[in-house]
C-alpha cells in the first residue's frame, strides 16, 4: 500500500509503477524472456543433464543472468508462458522462479499469456496471474505479476474477471487488438456486414 497526497492509503497501481520505472531508467523497453533451450549458450547447457529438469535448470540460470545484466537499465521483463509450459511442471517452476527473481530485482513482470476464455475460466487465469486464488478462508497470490496479456476474442465476459482483479489488486492488462504476425489479416482484417454499416 502507498499513501496518496491526502495521506489516505491506496493500492499500488501497476501502470504507475511501470511508468515511474520507465522514467527512472529513461528507457521504455521490455526484455522478452522466451527461452529456447537450443539457443541457450552451451557453457550453461553443459552444466546440466539433458533432461526436462536439466533444461529447466539451464533456463533459470540463463534468465537470471539476463535479469542481472539488465535490471538497472530495463524496467520490465515479459516472459512468454508457452516456452515454460512446454516443459510441464518443471517448466512452470522455472517460470515462477523467473518471475520471482525479476520482482526481487524490482523489475515489473508482464506475463505474455494472451489468455481469453469464458467468464469462469477467465477468472481462473486472472486469479493465477494477477489476482489471488481462494483457498478456504484466505486468498493466495500465485504468480503475482504486475501485468498479463489477454485476448478479447470471446467478448467482454472473457475480460471482466481480469478488470476486476486489476481494480482490486492494482494490477494491469494489455489487450490484444491487432497483431503483426503474417496471417493476422485472415481474421483481423475481415470486413463484416456490421462493420460495413458502421463505417
pLDDT in tens, 25-54: 999 999 999 999 999 999 999 999 999 999
Would you state the pLDDT for residue 128?
A: 97
> What whole-number distance in Å separates Cα of residue 173 and Cα of residue 76?
14
Q: What is the mean pLDDT of residues 121-131?
A: 97
Integer CA distances (angstroms), 136 to 46, 133, 139, 142, in order: 44, 10, 8, 15
> What whole-number distance in Å separates Cα of residue 149 and Cα of residue 78?
10
Dihedral angle at the C-alpha atoms of 5, 9, 13, 18, nearest 10 degrees? 60
Q: Is the dihedral of CA 147, 149, 154, 156 positive or negative?
A: positive
Marked catalytic residue, from 114, 132, 160, 164: 114
Stated pTM of the model: 0.88
Q: Answer yes or no: 23 catalytic.
A: no
Domains in the chain, CATH or no CATH each: 14-177 (3.20.20.70)
Would you state the pLDDT for residue 195?
A: 60
pLDDT in tens, 131-151: 999 999 999 999 999 999 999
Q: Which three cell numbers stand for residue 170?
A: 492494482
* Burial status of residue 64 (CB atoms within 10 A of its CB: 0-12, 13-18, 19 or more): middle
> What whole-number distance in Å separates Cα of residue 33 and Cα of residue 25?
20
Amino acid at each position: 500500500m502507498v499513501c496518496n497526497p491526502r495521506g489516505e492509503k491506496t493500492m499500488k497501481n501497476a501502470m504507475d509503477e511501470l511508468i515511474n520505472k520507465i522514467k527512472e531508467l529513461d528507457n521504455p523497453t521490455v526484455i522478452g524472456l522466451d527461452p529456447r533451450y537450443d539457443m541457450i549458450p552451451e557453457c550453461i547447457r553443459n552444466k546440466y543433464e539433458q533432461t526436462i529438469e536439466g533444461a529447466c535448470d539451464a533456463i533459470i540460470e540463463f534468465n537470471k543472468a539476463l535479469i542481472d545484466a539488465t535490471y538497472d537499465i530495463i524496467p520490465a521483463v515479459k516472459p512468454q508462458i508457452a516456452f515454460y509450459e512446454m516443459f510441464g511442471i518443471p517448466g512452470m517452476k522455472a517460470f515462477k522462479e523467473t518471475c520471482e527473481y525479476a520482482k526481487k530485482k524490482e523489475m515489473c513482470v508482464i506475463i505474455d499469456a494472451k489468455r481469453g476464455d469464458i467468464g469462469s475460466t477467465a477468472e481462473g487465469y486472472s486469479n493465477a496471474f494477477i489476482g489471488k486464488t481462494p483457498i478456504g478462508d484466505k486468498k493466495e497470490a500465485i504468480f503475482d505479476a504486475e501485468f498479463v496479456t489477454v485476448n478479447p476474442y470471446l467478448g467482454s465476459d472473457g475480460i471482466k474477471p481480469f478488470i476486476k482483479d486489476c481494480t482490486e489488486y492494482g494490477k494491469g492488462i494489455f489487450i490484444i487488438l491487432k497483431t503483426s504476425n503474417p496471417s493476422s489479416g485472415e481474421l483481423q482484417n475481415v470486413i463484416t456486414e456490421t462493420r460495413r454499416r458502421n463505417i
